[in-house]
Amino acid sequence: MNIEPSSNASVSVSNRVESRRVSLRYRSALLCWMCLAVLTAAAHPVQARETNDVSREEGGRKKVFTFEGGNPIEFVVALDKHFRTRLVQILTLPETLSRAKVPKLRVAADDPREVLTVYNRLESPTLGQWRFQPDGTAQTTPGTNMNALMLVPDKSVVAAKMERNVTRVKGVALAGVPETRWEALIRDIDQARKYAEDTAGKEAGDAFGGSIRLQRDSKVLIVAGPEGYIEMVESLVTAHRMNAEIEAKAVSGPKGAPEAAR
């Protein structure tokens, strides 16, 4: 009779203890889950910032190519130095454009083709146009070397140059130039032609290459060559004629003064 209540009490105490253990385990599990959620939430913003930084770096501003002006060869060398390419090894440059004056350029670009495209947009007849392959439309990797690079002269400039280089024949009158100075005139013409070749190179040689023949009886200088050469000869003949006239007036002036005073 007295044992049964004691057994029930023991069972009740045991249930309460077990209930507390379950409650503690639940609370521990809940606390662990909450800690894990906090750590996970804290980790995500860090990862997002890192991704944004990489994205800005990959899609950031393009490097700026700067050229301070010069000839086409210097321009291509500057491209190679900036983009780490070897374009100068495949460069084809006509003699007519070797001394062209490339203006100052400042272009934000990741590929040399972008700079060459800006150059072509200037559309200056004296600069020519760049032709290159590949053209970049199917190119996926920027900054790589091209297979061909050529500077092509403007058609109007080529046509004008061909027109000026056509050989013509013209007779220049030597009236007013004393015969004693004809030999000096011929020497001056030859020296002027050499000077043009030395200062402007082979291109000038083509423009000023010609010949002259002195006709003493008729006092005519026959000139054969392109238009530039003929103009040069005519200018020298005019200069010698003017010098002769000035010297003649200087000599006759003092002699005529007494007569004018009478």
59-71 confidence digits (pLDDT tens): 567 889 999 999 9
Instruction: Judge whether 115 and 57 are in contact, CB under 8 Å.
Output: no
Within a domain: 258: no
Within a domain: 261: no
* DSSP bridge pairs for 130: 151
Cβ count near 221 (within 10 Å)? 23
- What is the domain count for the chain? 3
Tokens of 174: 């030597």
Last residue of a domain, one of 60, 81, 115: 60
pLDDT in the model for residue 14: 56
| Pairing of the two strands 64-67 and 148-152 | unpaired
Within a domain: 3: no
pLDDT in the model for residue 194: 87
* 68 and 103, same domain (yes or no): yes
Within a domain: 159: no
Residues 103-131 have pLDDT tens digits of 999 999 999 999 999 999 988 888 888 99
pLDDT in the model for residue 155: 72
* 32 and 71, same domain (yes or no): no
Rounded alpha-carbon distances, angstroms, from residue 149 to 77, 100, 116, 261? 13, 17, 10, 78
Tokens of 48: 């997002």
Last residue of a domain, one of 106, 121, 154: 154
Helix (H, G, I), strand (E, B) or coil at 54: helix
Whole-angstrom distance, CA of residue 69 vs CA of residue 75: 8
* 146 and 70, same domain (yes or no): yes
* 212 and 230, same domain (yes or no): yes
Within a domain: 260: no
CATH number, residue 245: 3.30.1370.120
Within 8 A by CB and 6+ apart from 104, the residues are: 67, 68, 69
Residues 157-206 have pLDDT tens digits of 555 555 556 678 889 999 999 999 999 999 999 998 888 877 765 555 56
pLDDT in the model for residue 21: 63
End-to-end CA distance of the chain: 182
Helix (H, G, I), strand (E, B) or coil at 111: coil
pLDDT in the model for residue 261: 44
Last residue of a domain, one of 154, 186, 214: 154
The shares of helix, strand and coil residues in the chain, as percent rounded to the nearest 5, are 60, 15, 25
Average pLDDT over residues 245-258: 74
Within a domain: 257: no
State which residues form the domain around 149.
64-154
Rounded alpha-carbon distances, angstroms, from residue 97 to 84, 171, 253? 25, 33, 53
Residue 132's closest CA among 115, 151, 119, 108?
Answer: 151
* 148 and 72, same domain (yes or no): yes
Residues 23-81 have pLDDT tens digits of 666 666 656 656 655 555 454 443 333 333 333 334 567 889 999 999 999 999 999 99
pLDDT in the model for residue 114: 93
The helix-helix angle for 182-200 and 227-261 (nearest 10°) equals: 140
* 96 and 129, same domain (yes or no): yes
Within a domain: 105: yes
> How many percent of the chain have pLDDT more than 70?
62
* 125 and 110, same domain (yes or no): yes
* 187 and 138, same domain (yes or no): no
| CA max distance for the chain | 182
* 74 and 54, same domain (yes or no): no
Average pLDDT over residues 222-227: 88
* 138 and 85, same domain (yes or no): yes
Residues 89-105 have pLDDT tens digits of 999 998 878 888 999 99
Whole-angstrom distance, CA of residue 201 vs CA of residue 122: 26
DSSP 8-state assignment for residue 102: B
Residue by residue, DSSP assigns 68-110 as --B-HHHHHHHHHHHHT--GGGSEE--GGGTT--BPPEEEE-S
Residue 94's closest CA among 147, 50, 157?
Answer: 157
Inform me whether the pLDDT recorded for 238 exceeds 70: yes
pLDDT in the model for residue 126: 83
Within a domain: 199: yes
